[in-house]
Amino acid sequence: MVIVLLLVGVYGCKDFFPYRTVRDRGPEAKQPIATSYRFEDIPLPPGMALNQKESFIYEARATKTGVLIYEGRGEMEKLSSFFKQQMPKYQWKLVSNFEVHNVMLTFIKEGWISIITILPQEGEMKRIEIRVGPIEIKILPSSKE
């Protein structure tokens, strides 16, 4: 249930907070231009190239959120293992892992969530979608009374 709420929060935040994030609720201003197409605390497997046309980052004060798309060659299992091994080195904790035809890894750390999706493309090509945004975790009360 908590994972569903986390996913709704990340995927649906643009509907609830247009051009502003949960942590940035001040007066709405013009959207700033991103200074870097990179999240410093998200490691990248070697050989992946950024697709700037499909990537988007929004920065405001201390908040940086968005989706980065990378493409390159690799094996699904090795790419998945890379993130599972490397993300904890940046204080990210794996909270869900779905691997069937695609891979979807959900990581959290204090105040942040990252959802990494690995998708097969033609031949050996793979697409990695990295979504990062702020999160407020609230534990729901038990349905038992």
Query: What distance in Å separates the CA atoms of residue 48 and residue 135, rounded to the nearest whole number?
Result: 27
In a domain, 69, yes or no: yes
Residue spans of the chain under pLDDT 50: 1-11, 13-35
Q: pTM of the predicted model, to two decimals? A: 0.70
In a domain, 70, yes or no: yes
Residue-level pLDDT at 52:
92
Residue-level pLDDT at 66:
93
CATH code (residue 117): 3.30.310
Residue-level pLDDT at 18:
42
Q: Exposure of 10 by Cβ count < 10 A (0-12 exposed, 13-18 middle, 19+ buried)?
A: buried
In a domain, 68, yes or no: yes
Residue-level pLDDT at 8:
45
In the chain, the number of structural domains is: 1
3-state class (DSSP) for residue 144: coil
Residue-level pLDDT at 63:
80
In a domain, 139, yes or no: no
In a domain, 143, yes or no: no
| Domain range for 126 | 2-21+31-134
The angle at the Cα of 106, spanning 93 to 74, to the nearest 5 degrees, equals 105
